[in-house]
Amino acid sequence: MEIRTGTRAFITGASRGIGRALAVELASRGAILGLAARSTDELQELAATLPGTHHVLECDVADEAAVRTAVDRFVELAGGIDLLVANAGITHYGPFRDQPLEHAKRMTEINWYGTLYTVHHGLPHMLDAAQGHIVVISSGAALRSFPWAAVYGATKAAQRMFAEALRHELSGTGVSLTTVYPGEIATSLHDHEKDTMPDWYRGGPDAAPASELAKRIVRSVERDDRSLTFPPLVRALGILHNLSPKVSDRLLRALRGGTAAPRRD
C-alpha cells in the first residue's frame, strides 16, 4: 500500500518514542493522523507541529471501550482507516520473583490486550473497505527474551504469534499486516527505571534512532513486508536463537556480559 496525501492512519501510543516518530514521518507524506494516547497534552503539542489535519484522541489501550470509542471517532472524522498501528506499550524490568504482580498485569493489559483491542475494533473498518494495512509493533524480545524481562518478552511474543497468524488469515481480503521487531531504540520507554536497568541493557540516547525506524516501517508497509527487524542484529540474533539457544546464549555473554544469559546448560 502506498502512503500518500490523504492516507488515514490511526496510531496508538503516538505521544512518544516510536509512535511519535512514525506520526512525524507519516505526516510528512501527507497522511491524516489519528493520534491516540492516554494523555492528550503531548498529542496536542505534537499535532500543532505537524503539517496537515490530524485528530487527537484520548485512549487508554487497556480499556476496550476507550479503544472502540477512539477508533470509531477517527473513522467518523476521517471517513475510514487505511493504516492501523498498534504501537502502545510499556515495560517494567526486574527479576520476576521480585516484580509486583501489578506490573506484570499492567504490561499484559497494555502490550497484549491493547494490541488485541486495537486490531479487533480497527480491522472491521478495513475489511469493509477491502483495503488497508496493520502494523503491530512487537519487540526483539519476541525473538529472544532476556533475563529481567520475562513478562515483557511474553507480551511481545503474544503479539508476534497473533500477528503472524493474522497475516495469513487476511490473505485475499485486501488488508495486510507487518510485524515490527525493534531492538534497543532511543526512546523514553525506560525513563521510569533508568537506575534499575539490567547490566546487559545498551539502550539510551546512543541507541538506534526512532526516526530511522519510522522511515523503515513506512517502507515495509509500502512493500507489504511480512516483518521488519531493526537494528539488523536483532534479526541475526533471532535466527541464531531458533537454530541453537545455547550458541545464542554464548554470543550474548560475549556481547553483553554474563547477566544476559547466566545459565550455561
Is 144 part of a structural domain of the chain? yes
Ranges of H-type helices in the chain: 17-28, 41-49, 64-78, 101-107, 114-129, 150-169, 210-223, 232-243, 245-256
The mean per-residue pLDDT over the stretch 65-82 comes to: 98
The mean per-residue pLDDT over the stretch 175-191 comes to: 82
Higher pLDDT, 50 or 187: 50
Is 1 part of a structural domain of the chain? no
Strand order in the sheet with 8-12: 54-58, 32-37, 8-12, 83-86, 132-137, 175-182, 227-230
CA dist 259 and 198 (Å) reads 8
Structural domains of the chain, count: 1
Alpha carbon distances (Å) from 146 to 93, 122, 183: 10, 32, 12
Q: What is the CATH number of the domain that holds 81?
A: 3.40.50.720
CA dist 177 and 97 (Å) reads 36
- Cell 534479526, residue? 235
Name the least confident of 3-17, 26-40, 98-112, 182-196: 182-196
End-to-end C-alpha distance for the chain, whole angstroms: 46
Is 207 part of a structural domain of the chain? yes
Instruction: Kindly report whether the global pTM for this prediction surpasses the value 0.75.
Output: yes
pLDDT of residue 190: 46
State residue 197 phi and psi, 5-degree precision.
-70, 145
CA dist 33 and 26 (Å) reads 8
Is 149 part of a structural domain of the chain? yes
Is 2 part of a structural domain of the chain? no
Q: Are residues 180 and 220 in contact, defined by beta-carbon separation less than 8 angstroms?
A: yes
Is 146 part of a structural domain of the chain? yes
Please report which confidence band the pLDDT of residue 205 belongs to, taking 50, 70 and 90 as the band edges: low
State residue 95 phi and psi, 5-degree precision.
-60, 135
| 186 pLDDT more than 80 | no
H/E element, 186: strand 185-186
- Cell 539488523, residue? 232
pLDDT of residue 199: 66
Is 36 part of a structural domain of the chain? yes
152 is catalytic: yes
Summarised one tens digit per residue, pLDDT across range 76-93 is 999 999 999 999 999 999
| 216 pLDDT more than 90 | yes
Q: Are strands 175-182 and 227-230 parallel, antiparallel or unpaired?
A: parallel
- Residue of 93, 113, 117, 152 marked catalytic: 152
Cβ atoms < 10 Å from Cβ of 191: 9
Is 265 part of a structural domain of the chain? no
The SS3 of residue 231 is: coil
Name the least confident of 94-98, 162-166, 189-193, 234-238: 189-193
CA dist 154 and 210 (Å) reads 23
Summarised one tens digit per residue, pLDDT across range 141-162 is 999 999 999 999 999 999 999 9
Which residues, listed in sequence order, are joined to residue 132 by a DSSP beta bridge?
A: 175
Q: Comparing C-alpha atoms, which of 114, 223, 128, 142 is closest to residue 178?
A: 223
Structural domain that includes position 52: 8-260
